[in-house]
Each structure stands twice: as C-alpha cells, then as structure tokens.
Amino acid sequence: MREELEQIKREAAEGIRAAGGVKELEELRVALLGKKGRLTGILKGMGRLSAEERPALGQLANEARDFIEGGISAAKAELSRKATLARLAAETIDVTLPGKARARGHYHPMTTAMEELKRIFLGMRYEIAEGPDIETEYYNFDALNIPSDHPARDEQDTFYVEGKDADGGGFALRTATSPVQARTMERGRLPIRMICPGQVFRADEVDATHSPVFHQMEGLVVDKGVTFGDLKGALMVFAREFLGEDTRARFRPHYFPFTEPSAEMDVSCFKCGGAGCNVCKGEGWIEVLGCGMVHPRVLEMRGIDPAVYSGFAFGMGLERIAMLRGAISDMRLLFENDVNFLNQF
C-alpha cells in the first residue's frame, strides 16, 4: 500500500506536468480523488488495516491527497496566470507608435475672413444685425436715398422678384446689405452700433472679380455727436487688426447717395508696405471700402432728428477683402470649392 501511494504521487506529479489545460487537470483530479478515484479507494480501505499500520499509512495517504490537491490547484493557478499574460500581450498598445492621422476639414477662407471681421467689430461693441435676402424695392433703394432714375435700379443690375408689397412696391434680391441699416434705424432704438454681414445679389456676369452672388459687410453707428473722426478711428482699428499693425489708410472723397460727405478708404499694401507690387498693381495703396457720414435726409426718413443725432456708415465686399488678404487672384476660386485650392489656407 505504501508503494502504491508513492506510485500514485509520482503519476500525479507527471500528470500535472503534462496537463495542457484546466480540463485535463480536472480529469486527473477525478481519476485520483473523485468518488471512484484511486486514492479515494485506498482511503476507503484503511479500515481493513491493523491498528499499528493505520496511523502511519493514514498519514501517508493524507499527505498524498494534500500533495495532489495542492499540485493541481497550483497548476490551475499557473495556467490562468499564463492565460492572463497572453491576453495582456495580445492587447498591448504601443503608445510610442505614431497615431493614424485623420484628415480634418477647415474653415473656408471666406468664413475665416467673415468671423475675423465679426470678432473685430464685436470687440468695439458693435451688434450683428440681419435682414431678408428678398427685399422690397423701398428698403433696397428708396430708404437709401437712391433716386428712382438711378442706374443701380436698372433691371440689368438687379434681380427683380415677382409680386408687389402692400404699398404696390416691387421685390428684389437685395443688391447690398444697406437695407438692414434702414431697417435698424427704423426700429428707433438709439444709439446704434451695428454690422450686417450677408450675401447680396447683382446681375453680374461671372468673371475674375464679379459674381451674381457675393458677400458684403456694412456697418452703421448713429449717436449724438458722431464725427468723421469716429469713422476714421473705427476703420483704422479694423484695418490694423485685419491687415496688420503697420497698415496705414487714406480717405479719398467719393459720392454715395446715402452718405455725405462720402469717401473711399485705401489701405497701404499689406504685401509691399506701400512700395508697389503685383498685389497693389504698383500703386502702394489698395481700395478696401466705401464710407461716409449718414446723409441727414436718410436719418430724417427713418424718424431720427439729424439736428440731434449723426452717424457714419461703411460697407465692404468680403470676397474682395478675403482675396486681398489671401493673395487670391480670381473670385471664382472662392466659389468652386476645389479642395486643392482650399487646402492652401
């Protein structure tokens, strides 16, 4: 019996070493320690031994059982440890590997220019105003002091829309964002400090500098004691922030129906600084916007007393501004959305 116990222990040790998985270990356990297992059979037969033999053999048998149980559970623990290590190895992420770059889009140069302009004027406490794309002839022309025989009203320049308003006036796609100025003044909340960026429509043929739809941004300030000096101050802030700190400006007298006096603003070329180059066509100066003091008659028409209030207005074409800043030579590029072009910005 002593030898048989030694034999079982040897076989158990071998079986444990050879076992490739938990299932085999379990089979081994059942074969030796299960109800009908070999060691269980020996333990059952203890009763037949003599009183002298029983304690020594009993102790040996118990040792054998502890040996087998311990061996099997240690082997199971080892298998599970190896399995965990293998899984961790398989799931390892090498954080030093370069990431997979995902192509991201970015803002269109027009959007960038628009947002930048908004930021600059919001910083000067201007509000953003909006108006309809389809405008009455009244707001698009009359309210801006544009006489009925003015060439701007020509059907060749304006997209008229069918229908009549309550006063029998016609509709048109707005040719400028100026109607928003008229609507804002009419609301009667003074003082006014606003900008109105938006799309406008003119019956122009498409070429390098024209498009039937383009964007403008106009600004309007109405308050007591507003002077041309305030106008220049605000536009200089815009020019320096948008085009560069060293930008200089000059104002040339001009004519617009809704401002008096009126001016066009030129800025020193941001590329050559005024020496003359291809961007400024050798002039050193670039025309960027039209501006002026709001015509007293325009204030009066909106119910604002020109003896008490004065104001200034300005307006610029955003495509032109974006093209100048991005050295873009053809306006069509801004509308075609060729990714090879857009990716340069």
If the CB atoms of residues 40 and 209 are measured against Zn ion, the closer one turns out to be 209
If the CB atoms of residues 269 and 304 are measured against Zn ion, the closer one turns out to be 269
Q: What whole-number distance in Å separates Cα of residue 158 and Cα of residue 212?
A: 10
| CB of 275 vs Zn ion, minimal distance in Å | 7
| CB of 153 vs Zn ion, minimal distance in Å | 36
If the CB atoms of residues 173 and 269 are measured against Zn ion, the closer one turns out to be 269
Under 8 Å between Cβ of 318 and 114 = yes
Q: What whole-number distance in Å separates Cα of residue 278 and Cα of residue 252?
A: 22
If the CB atoms of residues 220 and 280 are measured against Zn ion, the closer one turns out to be 280
Q: What whole-number distance in Å separates Cα of residue 143 and Cα of residue 304?
A: 13
Under 8 Å between Cβ of 230 and 222 = no
Q: What whole-number distance in Å separates Cα of residue 298 and Cα of residue 305?
A: 10
By CB under 5 A, the count of residues binding Zn ion is 6
Tokens of 78: 């080892």
| CB of 267 vs Zn ion, minimal distance in Å | 10
If the CB atoms of residues 237 and 272 are measured against Zn ion, the closer one turns out to be 272
| CB of 244 vs Zn ion, minimal distance in Å | 12
The residue nearest Zn ion at its CB is: 269
Under 8 Å between Cβ of 194 and 178 = no
Fill in the per-residue mask, 323 to 342: x = in contact with Zn ion (CB under 5 A), - = not in contact: --------------------
| CB of 318 vs Zn ion, minimal distance in Å | 21
Fill in the per-residue mask, 257 to 286: x = in contact with Zn ion (CB under 5 A), - = not in contact: ------------x-xx----x-xx------
Q: How many helices (H) and strands (E) does the chain have?
A: 12, 10
| CB of 248 vs Zn ion, minimal distance in Å | 12
Total residues found in the chain within this entry: 345
Q: What whole-number distance in Å separates Cα of residue 110 and Cα of residue 218?
A: 16
- Interface of this chain with Zn ion, residues 83 to 102, rule: CB under 5 A: none
Under 8 Å between Cβ of 176 and 145 = no
| CB of 280 vs Zn ion, minimal distance in Å | 3
Under 8 Å between Cβ of 313 and 210 = no
- Residue 248 is a binding residue for Zn ion (CB under 5 A): no
What 3-state class would DSSP assign to 25? helix
If the CB atoms of residues 64 and 280 are measured against Zn ion, the closer one turns out to be 280
Closest Cα partner for 254 from 238, 240, 243, 265?
Answer: 265
Quickly tell me which residue has 């544009």 as its tokens: 146
If the CB atoms of residues 254 and 271 are measured against Zn ion, the closer one turns out to be 271
Where along the sequence are the contacts to Zn ion (CB under 5 A)? Answer: 269, 271-272, 277, 279-280
